[in-house]
């Protein structure tokens, strides 16, 4: 029988801190020494810090199994879900909030910015969930929607270098969702979605860094979806070009 206590090691967790009213130009980092085991995750370490060392440390989490998408953050500069990101080997690990989103407190970012992008795109990607057809919807919820495999964690937006320099960019998640509608319209006309995303701030803004697909914890492959969306948009343009104005 293995003695788990002997497998514990101490690692220094450097956490980016920010509270309301702090000057965002001068980020602060606090360090905590935490005992971690071979199967410890970043979320385990953060929970340990909060329980035993610093109750003011704030971060989001819920399901602990990469399903809810709430614990997205950057670990040593790379995006991931804290609940399934192992504490890396080494003496120190740096934990920061997702990039390209406003920070509310410590590791908690304002996801409204992320969701607003869907609104700006007209939410063509959201479809009424067929999984609950015939079932009841809880009071206070107008309708249930589903978004395929995307868990709306915001990791793709944080990893994208173009989103890091252009706030007008629709972003990988919304584009990937738009492609799902085009790929599988289920009787609907995908034309309006293609035209909506056939824009310099939408499908054509991507510069193929492929970081979104590499970082996505759900295998959505936003970059691949964007490329296929481009192809559909280009084909639609060619069709319009040769339709002599008949199908604009």
Partner 1 sequence: MAMSSAEPRRPASGPARRRGVVGWFDPRGRRLGGLAFIVNRLTGLGLVLYLYLHLGILSLLVQGPGAWDTFVDIALSPPFLLLDVVLLTGMLIHGLNGIRVGLVGLGFVASRQRALLISLMVVAAVVALVGAIRIFGD
Which helix (H) or strand (E) covers residue 213, if one does?
A: helix 211-215
Q: Which of 171, 153, 180, 20 has the alpha carbon at shortest distance from 74? A: 153
Of 113 and 144, nearer to partner 1 (C-beta) is 113
Of 62 and 112, nearer to partner 1 (C-beta) is 112
Of 64 and 115, nearer to partner 1 (C-beta) is 115
Minimum CB–partner distance for residue 52 and partner 1 (Å): 26
Minimum CB–partner distance for residue 231 and partner 1 (Å): 3
Of 58 and 67, nearer to partner 1 (C-beta) is 58
> Residues in the site for partner 1, rule: CB under 8 A?
18, 20, 22, 24, 74, 76-79, 97, 99-105, 109-110, 112-113, 159, 161, 163-165, 167, 206-211, 213-214, 223-224, 227-232, 234
Cβ-in-10-Å burial (0-12, 13-18, 19+) of 227 comes to middle
Minimum CB–partner distance for residue 75 and partner 1 (Å): 9
Minimum CB–partner distance for residue 22 and partner 1 (Å): 8
Residues 6+ apart with CB under 8 A from 182: 190, 193, 194, 228, 229, 232
17 forms beta bridges with: 28
C-alpha dihedral sign at 154, 160, 164, 166: negative
């Amino acid at each position: 029988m293995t003695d788990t206590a002997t497998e514990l090691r101490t690692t220094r967790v450097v956490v980016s801190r920010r509270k309301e009213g702090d000057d965002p130009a001068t980020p602060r980092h606090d360090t905590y020494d935490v005992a971690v085991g071979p199967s410890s995750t970043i979320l385990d370490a953060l929970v340990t810090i909060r329980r035993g060392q610093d109750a003011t440390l704030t971060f989001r989490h819920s399901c602990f199994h990469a399903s809810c998408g709430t614990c997205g953050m950057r670990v040593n500069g790379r995006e991931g879900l804290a609940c399934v990101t192992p504490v890396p080997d080494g003496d120190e690990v740096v934990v920061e909030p997702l990039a390209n989103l406003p920070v509310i407190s410590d590791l908690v970012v304002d996801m409204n910015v992320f969701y607003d992008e869907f609104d700006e795109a007209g939410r063509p990607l959201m479809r009424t969930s067929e999984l609950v057809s015939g079932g009841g919807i809880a009071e206070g919820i107008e309708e249930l929607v589903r978004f395929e495999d995307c868990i709306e964690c915001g990791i793709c937006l944080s990893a994208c270098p173009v989103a890091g320099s252009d706030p007008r960019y629709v972003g990988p998640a919304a584009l990937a969702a738009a492609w799902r509608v085009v790929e599988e319209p289920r009787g609907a006309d995908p034309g309006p979605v293609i035209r909506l995303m056939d824009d310099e701030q939408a499908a054509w803004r991507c510069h193929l860094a492929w970081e979104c697909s590499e970082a996505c914890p759900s295998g959505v492959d936003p970059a691949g979806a964007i490329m296929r969306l481009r192809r559909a948009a280009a084909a639609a343009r060619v069709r319009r070009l040769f339709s002599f104005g008949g199908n604009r």
